[in-house]
Amino acid sequence: MPTEVILPKVDMDMTAGTLSVWHVAEGDFVAKGAPLFDIETDKAAMEVESPASGHVHNMVAPGQSVAVGAPVAWIYAKDEPVTAPPASAARADGVGTAPSIVPPRPAAPQPAAPQEVHHDPRQRATPAARRLARETGVDLRHVAGSGPKGRVQRADIDNRAHGQPQHGAAQLPSGWSVQPGDLHLTRRAGRDTAPLFLIHGFAADSTGWAPLERALPKDQPLLRLDLPGHGKSPRRSLRSFAELARAVVAAFDASGADQVHLVGHSLGGALALALADIRPRKILSLTLIAPSGLGPEIDAPVLNGIARASRVESLLPWLRRLTADPDRLGEDYARAALRGRLDPQLRAAQLDLATALFPDDVQAFDLTAALRRVTARTAIIWGRADRIIPWRHALAARGDMALHLLPECGHIPHIDTPETVAGILARQMA
């Protein structure tokens, strides 16, 4: 009798989840306890271990929503004949529909993550959103859904059809196109030790880590990621935090890194948290600098202002909001920051990303559950004078996590006071 693999309940309110990627192919041998697949819920994403050793068959196709307790695959002993999937032994709660089963097929490598350009033609949308989309000629597949599980709500279509009045649509660059290719990752070699894996925040890029790098030991190996539509990474159409997190996990997997000390700032902090949730065994320590995802409040006009700015004069006032001491940031800094932002398509892509991630100026994703699950040593660094995300979101931390609440420091402690952050990282890596 093969062992049934079910979709586990990983979150309290969870009734269904999306099986995002398999770590094995049909027929592969898997050892008990080895990573088997990743699931995503509307709140979290995580890796699921195999409940038994054997060969995996009758796997559910990735990308589809599966009810909690429904089977996603069966594990067969070595010489056990593989038949049609047995009737499910138990349904946990009778919720949802049984998943459709893909027929056995020759072993083929699974794509690490779905390509963002391939939209699911069956986009979730409320009936009201569909009607409005029909009437206004909006293609639902190009709308970021703000509802549960990425569902497009009527308001999402309203925003699309009428621009984003709350963000001042007048200066929007017109349109942008998706680019192919992998996310850009730069490496700094060093001594033979686990590298720091750095994920920057919204509208920044990996060059923003330079002050911190100067404060770190010269031989500390580094991996720096540019997020989609940021720095030297290709622009992608991302409709939700989950899609963005998927892209980051795929880039992490592709980096070949064995184990890393993970650092994320702001949006990168939320992504680091998601990555630590999905790849817990790969993360030796987790350092979150003013992370998003721990509460709804965020000063979205600043993010939009930075993303939109095309001149030093329009960028500098927003940049000054990032730091506790505005005089520290002069026109030179703004000019340098603007050099990486000259491409209008990059700015447009970032504005669209801001709309998907922060609809109505709210952080639309919640990673507090992931924070509770983290197994790696975790530190949260926050400036007490942060004007972008309230430092009190740090209080979502578990009691055994280190909080470093830096006085006279704004949203960018790694730039305001890189020595302090480097010191904390040294303790994290000890």
Partner 1 sequence: MNAPAHPSRTLSYAEALREAMALALESDPNVVLMGEDIGVYGGAFQVTGDLIDRFGPDRVMDTPISELGGAGVAVGAALTGLRPIYEFQFSDFAALAMEQIVNQAAKMRFMLGGEASVPLVFRMPSGSGTGAAAQHSQSFEAWFGHVPGLKVVQPSTPYDAKGLLLAALADPDPVIIFEHKLLYKMKGDVPAGHYTIPIGKAEIRREGTDITIIAGAIMVHRALEAAETLAADGISAEVIDLRSVRPIDSATIIASVCKTGRALCVFEGVRTLGLGAEISALIAESDAFDYLEAPIMRLGGAEAPIPYNPDLERAAVPQVDGIERAVRKLVGGEV
Closer residue to partner 1 (CB): 126 or 186: 126
Shortest distance (Å) from residue 133 CB to partner 1: 11
Integer Cα distance of 15 and 294 in angstroms: 22
The CB-of-352 to partner 1 minimum distance in angstroms stands at: 21
CB of 143 to partner 1, least distance (A): 15
Smallest distance from partner 1 to CB 43, Å: 11
Q: Which is nearer to partner 1, 125 or 424 (CB)?
A: 125
- Binding-site ranges for partner 1 (CB under 8 A): 126-131, 146-148, 153-154
Shortest approach of partner 1 to residue 161 CB, angstroms? 16
**Shortest CB 131 distance to partner 1, Å:** 4
Cβ 269 to partner 1 shortest distance, Å: 25
Q: 128 or 210: whose CB is closer to partner 1?
A: 128
Closer CB to partner 1, residue 147 or residue 293?
A: 147
Q: Which of 58, 146 has the CB closer to partner 1? A: 146
